[in-house]
Amino acid sequence: MSEYTAPVPGLDAVEIPEPGAVTLVVPTFNESANIRQLLHHITESVPERMPCEVLFVDDSTDDTPEVIREAAEDCPYPVAVLHREEPVGGLGGAVVEGLKAAGSEWIVVMDGDCQHPPSLVPELIATGERTNAGLVVASRYIAGGSRAGLAGGYRVAVSRGATWLAKALFPRRLHGISDPMSGFFAIRRSVVTADALKPLGYKILLELAVRSRPRQVAEVPFVFQDRYAGESKSTAREGFRFLRHLAGLRTASPVARMIGFGLIGASGFVPNLVGLAALTGLGLHYVLAEILANQLGVAWNFLLIEQLLFRDRRAHRRWWDRLGRFALLANADLVLRIPLIALLVDRFGMGALAATALALVMTFVLRFAGTEALVYLPRRRGSRARRAV
């Protein structure tokens, strides 16, 4: 067992391998006015007998990293700052970087605006040890907890609505977690595989619970504090990112993706019909109007599929390559469907309605499989290597 190491100048991360040691991971974005107060609270709240290190993962455009370095000189615990020039994944991405860099058995994730009380850190760890839990959530929604620090009825309503939606979409994964929107929790380093996480925005607990939920989960109540300084980073844009994140998590399985693909395809009839009505109203022949209107449906479907189903696979090809392949598959669906209906009617004696329905199902499955395989799956490394020779 190694000794607890005192903080050193330069803020190098200190590894603390003892059981019960804790790394406080604090993602920050322009929180310079809160840093000194937060470190003061940590110094007052975390017992000296608990080996502790503080790791700030910073995406700031202000002087937050410099303030951290200055404030760390008065902190009895090792303090490190990891500044990211490119904030991939937002706050959730910052937490993932912190999970990868943490050297302790327990990792506590908390915000940098002093709304999460550091005095709860010992209880989070003690609860995890006592119950053998892999994840301990600080919850505002169990007895003894409160969301008092949420400013205004609008934010309270949004928070409750987001919580309800998340639990409705993931009833099994979020069973036993009353506050999946909480950004304050402790997790054992051994139960999370950081590389498996694909965060988008600031709801990292939801990401952890859905993708790599530990078998045993515990909760402790906490009172959400008022922000010490600055303004909330919660915006309408973050709200849309949260909805995209929910959709991405919900459609992670192939069956769920196929269902989502079908629902998006059905929604494409709306722009298709609107375009058809507009073009025929302008006097265009209905055949040409249908061909052009179909492209509106294709574009609509492509945009939704890009955002909701295959967002994490878009890096494998350029957007124009993906769009071209998707449009080719969508239009090939029309070309294939007519002779397939004729085959079912003439060769197998099916009625026109039944043949059309069966052809729609068959071409839908083929289009979904083709979209995954030809548009969004990575190119094989061997083929790239051959082209490079």
Q: Among 200, 231, 262, which residue terminates a domain?
A: 231
**Residue 127 counted as domain residue:** yes
**Residue 5 counted as domain residue:** no
Q: Are strands 217-221 and 135-139 parallel, antiparallel or unpaired?
A: parallel
Residue 359 has, within 13 A of its CA and on its CB side, a CA count of 21
121, 225: one domain? yes
- Cα 219 to Cα 101, 180, 372: the distances in Å are 25, 11, 39
270, 209: one domain? no
Taking residues 188-204, what's their average pLDDT? 77
189, 127: one domain? yes
Residue 27 corresponds to which amino acid? P
pLDDT tens-place string over residues 258-277 = 778 888 888 887 887 888 88
CATH number, position 121: 3.90.550.10
Residue with tokens 């059981």: 19
- Among 143, 151, 132, 113, CA closest to 190: 132
**Measured in whole angstroms, how far is the alpha carbon of residue 174 from the centre of its chain?**
15
Say yes or no to pLDDT of 304 above 50.
yes
Total structural domains within the chain: 2
- Cα 104 to Cα 86, 119, 142, 209: the distances in Å are 26, 19, 28, 20
Q: How confident is the model at residue 128 (pLDDT cuts 50, 70, 90)?
A: very high
**Residue 83 counted as domain residue:** yes
260, 216: one domain? no
381, 294: one domain? yes
164, 277: one domain? no
**pTM for this structure?**
0.65
Q: Among 175, 199, 231, which residue terminates a domain?
A: 231
**Residue 183 counted as domain residue:** yes
175, 223: one domain? yes
185, 271: one domain? no
**Residue 152 counted as domain residue:** yes
227, 258: one domain? no
293, 188: one domain? no
**Average pLDDT value over all residues in the chain:** 79
Residue 36 has, within 13 A of its CA and on its CB side, a CA count of 9
136, 102: one domain? yes
Say yes or no to pLDDT of 217 above 80.
yes
Taking residues 151-168, what's their average pLDDT? 73
pLDDT of residue 295: 86
Residue 137 corresponds to which amino acid? V
pLDDT tens-place string over residues 328-387 = 888 887 777 778 878 888 888 888 777 777 877 787 888 888 888 888 876 655 444 434
For residue 276, give its domain range.
254-388
pLDDT of residue 137: 93
- Among 256, 254, 167, 177, CA closest to 213: 177
Quote the CA–CA distance of 359 and 344 in Å, as a whole number: 8
Quote the CA–CA distance of 261 and 371 in Å, as a whole number: 10
**Residue 17 counted as domain residue:** no
85, 181: one domain? yes
**Residue 384 counted as domain residue:** yes
**Residue 240 counted as domain residue:** no
